[in-house]
Amino acid sequence: MSSMLEIKNLKKYYQIRVNGKTKVVKALNDVSFCLNEGEKVAIIGPSGCGKTTLLKLILGLVKPTAGTIEKDAKVGFVAQDPYASLCQALRVNEIIAEPLIYGKKYRKAVQAEVEVREAMRLVELDYDVYARRYPHQLSGGERQRISIARAIISKPNFLALDEPTSMVDYEVKQGIGEVIKKASAAVGSAVLLVTHDIMFAKEVCDTIFVMDSGKIIEHATTKEILEHAKHEKTKELILAGTDLKEYWESKQVEEI
């Protein structure tokens, strides 16, 4: 299995001024992991743990303080906010065709109709119903499906998703999870999911890396993390995701 993303000893430090003094914030502090062909990996953790900084570094939006990122892959990106990430002046078919036009495969969206139709089919939206609509005419869940369609149309090696369900309700979230799995499998993309929602990660990914304070504190298969979490922060994320105190009470009983 070939590696398409390899991160070694990655660090990102920021200098901030607090009460007239310079303070160093270690947003990432020595992070290493690999993403292999076909894998579905989740990076989870609470707000401020460094997971979004990690994704920005992978996408090349910021430069690391130290460490290396070796990326031999075409990346499709799905942003957190479907209201801000879609151009309001473009119709749905034009938005989805953007990567193909930017890559100079076509000059106009109409020329990409076959690919756009297929991408929309994979995210379970009817081309004839939605192609000519504008983003303001769509629900939050529909907008995020459009974002996924745009991300997969160029058949990327892996999909990078930043909290893709943070702005939708529970039922829509389930549908988005199924779309991510179906669409990524259809185009042969690996998945790198950044989220605070461990139960959503469970639905999409096979492996989970847990982050806290800029470091990876635990990683294992999704099943192992959920059934045999070792770190207290991981247990807190599971409790927050399930909202069931009985989950850990039952675990304690099993251990007695």
Indicate the DSSP class of residue 84: T
Residue 255 has pLDDT above 60, yes or no: no
E strand segments, 142-255 = 158-162, 190-195, 207-212, 215-221
**Nearest C-alpha neighbor of 125 from the set 167, 163, 179:** 179
- Give residue-wise pLDDT tens across range 10-69: 999 999 888 888 999 999 999 999 999 999 999 999 888 999 999 999 999 999 999 999
Q: Is residue 141 part of a domain?
A: no
Q: How many CB atoms sit inside 10 A of residue 150's CB?
A: 24
CA 57 to chain centre: 14
Asked if the model's pLDDT at residue 109 lies above 60, the reply is: yes
pLDDT tens per residue across span 117-159: 999 999 999 999 999 999 999 998 999 999 999 999 999 999 9
Give a yes or no: residue 26 inside a domain.
yes
Q: Is residue 210 part of a domain?
A: yes
Kindly report, residue by residue over 207-252, the tens digit of the pLDDT. 999 999 999 999 999 999 999 999 988 888 888 776 555 544 555 5
Question: DSSP class of residue 213?
Answer: T
- CATH number of residue 240's parent domain: 3.40.50.300
Does any domain span residue 220? yes
Asked if 149 and 117 touch (Cβ cutoff 8 Å), the reply is no
Count of structural domains, the chain? 1
> Exposed/middle/buried for 30, CB within 10 Å: 0-12, 13-18, 19+?
middle
Higher pLDDT, 252 or 107: 107
Residue 206 phi/psi, 5-degree rounding, is -95, -25
Whether 237 maps to a domain, the answer reads yes
Residue 60 structural domain: 1-74+156-166+186-256
Q: How does residue 256 score in pLDDT terms, banded at 50, 70 and 90?
A: very low
Residue 148 domain flag: no
Residue 203 forms part of a structural domain: yes
Asked if residue 90 is part of any domain, the answer here is no
